Amino acid sequence: MSESILREKAKEFAKNIVFIVKEIKNDKKESVLTNQLLRSGTSIGANIHEAQYAQSTADFISKFEIALKECFESEYWLDLLFETGYLEENKFKKLNNDCGLIRKMLISSCKTLKAKNE
């Protein structure tokens, strides 16, 4: 998949994270876990976007690896919010699936980039 598709998916995921965090904060008055999810969930796309202006191939790979870490962290916060009853199952499944797809795309991109630079 192309990098622009990954950027688009990450931005859409970030927007959905903003919306769900706002909803949970308003409806359930929870902010500790949601703030963590907001940071990690929006950081994925920010790092992918920032990679466009990397100073080197190593910097580009580093930005993608940071995005991957943030993706893994987002999955953790989504799981925790779901398992503690703050996130409904249907919303959890959608966000978790989207995050998983982005994670797979990032893993593939990192492997490809590293292989090209060996």
Q: What is the pLDDT along the chain (118 residues), one digit of tens a residue?
A: 457 999 999 999 999 999 999 999 999 999 999 999 999 999 999 999 999 999 999 999 999 999 999 999 999 999 999 999 999 999 999 999 999 999 999 999 999 989 988 7
State how far the Cα of 15 lies from the Cα of 113, in Å rounded to an integer: 27
Domain extent at residue 40:
3-116
Angle, CA of 108, 111 and 113, to the nearest 5° = 105
Prediction pTM value? 0.94
Split into its structural domains, the chain has a count of: 1
CATH of the domain at 25: 1.20.1440.60
Given a contact cutoff of 8 angstroms between Cβ atoms, the answer to whether 106 and 46 are in contact is no
* Cα 64 to Cα 98: distance, rounded to the nearest angstrom: 17
